[in-house]
Amino acid sequence: MVKVNCAAIPETLLESELFGHEKGAFTGASSQRMGRFELADRGTIFLDEIADMAPQLQAKLLRVAQNGSFQRIGSNTEIHADTRILAATNRHLEEEVKAGRFREDLFYRLNVVELTVPPLRERREDILPLAHHMLADLTQNRARLSSSVADCLESYSWPGNVRELRNAMERAALLCRGDLIVPEHLPARIRPGAPASLSLEPADAKKLEEVETNAVMQTLRKNDFNRTASAKALGISRRALIYKLQRLRELGHLVDGPSKNVQ
């Protein structure tokens, strides 16, 4: 896969980046250069922020998308590349077409299969799995989230989406000195109303973990180990409960009910 950020490359250079150029094609072209499409032959090219591409270049991209043919700058020779095109943008392309900023024919040519990724606030079931994955990567599985932190993460609106969540986990990993992430380790905006001077000693953190474990296990037993009912009683998502149970299972707790733990 060859990746191109259309917003990061100046308009005057993007054509050369995509299609290549011949020696002497323009000032500074001291040698022949292959373009990204040529490099991605029999592979995939990912055009990120495609809505920032200039209209003139959109026309050339349309030709490549239709038949895979293009010319290097300064050459009359046709080059053919068998390349799959993936394009992404944070703009609404149909609105860009109506405003005349994006070619309608290119939009329909690219819009064969559309994948829309909703903002993180609209897919809250992904927040905790992502946070756990990021934290495990940042701490080599050393630290884990307390239930109060999980509640903060699930209730926050995440205007910065996954990048903001990653930054929050990096901050928590840096501030955590034990093995439990608590609300004070999160940015203040994510824990509204939390005292800035909140501090937990290791013994207090251990007590907090014990309270959380007891609450989860008691709720499980009360609901005959039904995860959906237990999650509802605890006021958390079923996905959040499953992640808590995975950790408790590692610690030796019988979280699946007696019948499923017979050796």
Q: What is the pLDDT of residues 111-153, one digit of tens each?
A: 999 988 888 989 999 999 999 999 998 888 888 999 999 999 9
Show the tokens assigned to 105.
């024919």
Last residue of a domain, one of 65, 87, 110: 110
Q: What is the pLDDT of residue 73?
A: 93
Share of the chain above pLDDT 90, in %: 52
The answer to whether residue 73 sits within a structural domain is yes
Q: What is the pLDDT of residue 178?
A: 82
- How far is residue 144's CA from residue 250's CA, in Å, rounded to a whole number? 13
| Direct distance between the N- and C-terminal alpha carbons of the chain, in angstroms, rounded to an integer | 48
Query: Do 165 and 40 reside in the same domain of the chain?
Result: no
What is the pTM assigned to this prediction?
Answer: 0.59
Q: Is the predicted pLDDT of residue 244 greater than 80, yes or no? A: no
Residue 214: pLDDT band (50, 70, 90) is confident
Q: Is the predicted pLDDT of residue 204 greater than 70, yes or no? A: no
For all residues of the chain together, what is the average pLDDT?
A: 85
Share of the chain above pLDDT 70, in %: 87
The answer to whether residue 62 sits within a structural domain is yes
- How far is residue 186's CA from residue 194's CA, in Å, rounded to a whole number? 10
Last residue of a domain, one of 110, 144, 164: 110
Query: Do 256 and 144 reside in the same domain of the chain?
Result: yes
Query: Do 130 and 91 reside in the same domain of the chain?
Result: no
Query: Do 254 and 126 reside in the same domain of the chain?
Result: yes
Last residue of a domain, one of 78, 110, 142: 110
Domain CATH code at residue 172:
1.10.8.60
The answer to whether residue 115 sits within a structural domain is no
Q: How far is CA 230 from CA 34, 116, 227, in A?
A: 59, 32, 5
Q: Are 40 and 1 in contact (CB under 8 A)?
A: yes
77-108 tens-digit pLDDT: 999 999 999 999 988 899 999 999 999 999 99
Query: Do 126 and 250 reside in the same domain of the chain?
Result: yes
Q: What is the DSSP letter of 59?
A: H
Domain ranges, residue 92: 2-110
Q: Is the predicted pLDDT of residue 196 greater than 70, yes or no? A: no
* Chain CA centroid to CA 224, Å: 36
Domain count, the chain: 2
Query: Do 156 and 186 reside in the same domain of the chain?
Result: yes
Query: Do 104 and 126 reside in the same domain of the chain?
Result: no
Query: Do 38 and 89 reside in the same domain of the chain?
Result: yes
Q: What is the DSSP letter of 179?
A: S
Domain CATH code at residue 44:
3.40.50.300
